[in-house]
């Protein structure tokens, strides 16, 4: 078979035509449809059905991972935001607690925070050890936060140390409450609890 052009007398064969490229758009649409469905399913757990907090946290991270996967399919935040509105926010059942752009972005930050790890359980363990709220903060980008984030990645700071470094006032309050509790029960303390009381008292004196 030949194709003739009006501006040129030469004929063009099928063999001369450029090779057709795969329809990646339809593939991406299929992937995005799957992501949207999975997000809505996990929202049922995170925002409504989960009987235990640990199940909510698992679903929260899963939503974040799905959101990050979806974001990587778009060239811009604007395009990604439009997809979130049409395929997630507008399709979210009215029986569920609504999910906002801010909330979805926070969930996505959990995925970004643990993106250097491979397995889901590894990612979840890190997020739980650091604390979800602290993970959001670590993705904030200030100099102090970046130093903590780098220390965590390099292993010079343990996940369990992040909370006290990000929230020193909270730690101080917790120690005061613990000291008051131990002091009130001083006559019934175990050897370990007495040692803890002494250490808290010593810290209090040194900080004064």
105/178 same-domain check: no
Of 32, 111, 122, give the one whose Cα is nearest residue 64: 111
- The tokens for 84 are 């979130």
22/95 same-domain check: yes
Q: How many domains does the chain have?
A: 2
Please check whether residue 144 lies inside any domain of the structure: no
109/177 same-domain check: no
Last residue of a domain, which of 82, 97, 113?
Answer: 113
| Stretch 179-186: mean pLDDT | 80
93/193 same-domain check: no
Whether 170 and 163 have beta carbons less than 8 Å apart is answered as: yes
- The tokens for 205 are 């004196």
45/108 same-domain check: yes
Q: What angle do CA 65, 66, 69 make, to 5 degrees?
A: 90
Instruction: Provide the domain limits for residue 181.
Output: 167-208
Please check whether residue 75 lies inside any domain of the structure: yes
Compute φ and ψ for 107, nearest 5 degrees. Answer: -60, -40
| HEC sequence for the chain | CEEECCCCCCEEEHHHCCCCCCCHHHHHHHHHHHHHHHHHHHHHHHHHHCCCHHHHHHHHHHHHHHHHHHHCCCCCHHHHHHHHHHHCHHHCCCCCCCCCHHHHHHHHHHHHHCCCCCCHHHHHHHHHHHCHHHHHHHCCCCHHHHHHHHHHHHCCCCHHHHHHHHCHHHHHHHHHHHHHHHHHCHHHCCHHHHHHHHHHHHHHHHHC
Last residue of a domain, which of 113, 147, 181?
Answer: 113
30/99 same-domain check: yes
Whether 70 and 35 have beta carbons less than 8 Å apart is answered as: yes
73/7 same-domain check: yes
Please check whether residue 58 lies inside any domain of the structure: yes
97/188 same-domain check: no
Residue 191, pLDDT > 90, answer no
Whether 204 and 178 have beta carbons less than 8 Å apart is answered as: no
Please check whether residue 64 lies inside any domain of the structure: yes
Q: What angle do CA 106, 112, 115 make, to 5 degrees?
A: 145
Chain-centre distance for alpha carbon 169: 25
22/93 same-domain check: yes
How confident is the prediction for the chain on average, in pLDDT?
81
121-171 pLDDT tens trace: 999 999 999 999 889 888 876 666 778 888 888 888 888 888 888 876 666
Last residue of a domain, which of 95, 113, 131?
Answer: 113
99/26 same-domain check: yes
92-102 pLDDT tens trace: 887 888 889 99
pTM for this predicted structure: 0.68
- The tokens for 26 are 């339809």
Please check whether residue 138 lies inside any domain of the structure: no
63-85 pLDDT tens trace: 999 999 999 999 999 999 999 99
Say if residue 53 is exposed, middle or buried (CB neighbours under 10 Å; 0-12, 13-18, 19+): exposed
91/171 same-domain check: no
């Amino acid at each position: 078979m030949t194709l003739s052009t009006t501006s040129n007398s030469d004929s063009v064969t099928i063999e001369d035509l450029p090779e057709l490229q795969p329809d990646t758009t339809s593939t991406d649409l299929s992937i995005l449809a799957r992501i949207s469905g999975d997000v809505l399913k996990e929202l049922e757990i995170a925002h409504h059905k989960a009987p235990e907090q640990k199940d909510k946290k698992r679903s929260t991270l899963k939503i974040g991972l799905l959101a990050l996967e979806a974001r990587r399919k778009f060239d811009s935040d604007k395009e990604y935001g439009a997809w979130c509105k049409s395929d997630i926010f507008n399709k979210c059942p009215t029986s569920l607690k609504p999910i906002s752009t801010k909330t979805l972005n926070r969930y996505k930050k959990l995925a970004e925070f643990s993106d250097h790890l491979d397995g889901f359980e590894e990612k979840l363990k890190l997020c739980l050890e650091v604390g979800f709220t602290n993970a959001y903060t670590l993705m904030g980008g200030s100099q102090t936060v970046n130093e903590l984030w780098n220390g965590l990645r390099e292993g010079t700071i343990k996940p369990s140390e992040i909370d006290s470094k990000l929230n020193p006032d909270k730690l101080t309050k917790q120690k005061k409450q613990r000291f008051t509790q131990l002091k009130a029960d001083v006559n019934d303390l175990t050897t370990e609890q007495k040692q803890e009381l002494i250490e808290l008292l010593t810290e209090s004196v040194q900080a004064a």
